Amino acid sequence: MDRRLALVTGASAGIGAAFARILAGHGYDVALTARRTDRLEALADEIRLRYGVETLTVAADLAQPEGPGQILDHLTAHGRTVDALVNNAGYGLPGTFAETRWADQAAFLQVMVTAPCELAHRVLPGMVQRRFGRIVNVASLAGLVPAAAGHTLYAASKSLLIKFSQSLSLETAGEGVHVTALCPGFTYSEFHDVNGTRGLVSASTPSWMWLGADEVAAAGYEAVEAGRTICVPGAPNKAIAAVAKLLPDEWGLALMASQGQRFRKL
């Protein structure tokens, strides 16, 4: 195929769907993957009709270890290789660490850490060989600020994606491959509905702290095209990230101890 192909995980809604539309608008064919087949097919039809690009859908569960391989095998069977990867799939796991089941935490780590790293590892050699590649790891502002109680591995997983993106960016410098960690704050999407914290965060955070999924995805696309390794969309989020760098650890943890329950479900 003449057009490049972008693979977007967690593409059925929110930031993933917004990324798919933006990439298609810039001439990419798009491969969409998530668990909800009906929503994937509806988005694929919309993008194909609106932008005139090829769309492929792959229903897959990244909580299963075989998920990343199944996705890429499907694309290979259609004669396609991945030129741009958006690792967007993710969720939050409410509760404290001791109160949750390890099986749930293990599945969480598979989706949030292992799957994105495996997908990047599998597609990167081809990107380097073709001297073109774009990888966006959707991390979070939570990975740049002190940790809070509850959702225990969420910030840790996002921090790992940020460091992973930084290292990968250095390793691929000069190879035509750009790697960006996108670190949004509060975003209008289904994220808080899925983990049951919509009412909590909506009541405790002002409207000016929220961004739309389209705004976040557009910032991520611009950042990876420009070769910027870290992208924090929105002026309030940039300010929070800057202050977090300057706070002594003890102050940061004390702040999260007093304020964390406003947006974390214990």
- Distance (Å, rounded) from C-alpha 102 to C-alpha 99? 9
Q: Give the contacts of 183 (CB within 8 A, at least 6 positions apart).
A: 139, 140, 141, 143, 144, 158, 162, 230, 231, 232, 233, 237, 241
Nearest to 81 by CA among 93, 71, 90, 67: 71
10 Å CB burial of residue 170 (0-12, 13-18, 19+) is exposed
- Distance (Å, rounded) from C-alpha 174 to C-alpha 158? 26
Judge whether 198 and 205 are in contact, CB under 8 Å: no
**Dihedral sign, Cα of residue 56, residue 60, residue 62, residue 67:** negative
Query: Which residue type, as a one-letter code, is found at position 73?
Result: D
Compute how many other C-beta atoms are within 10 angstroms of the C-beta atom of residue 37: 12
Question: Which residues are part of the catalytic machinery?
Answer: 154
Alpha carbon 131 to its chain centroid, in Å, reads 24
Alpha carbon 19 to its chain centroid, in Å, reads 10
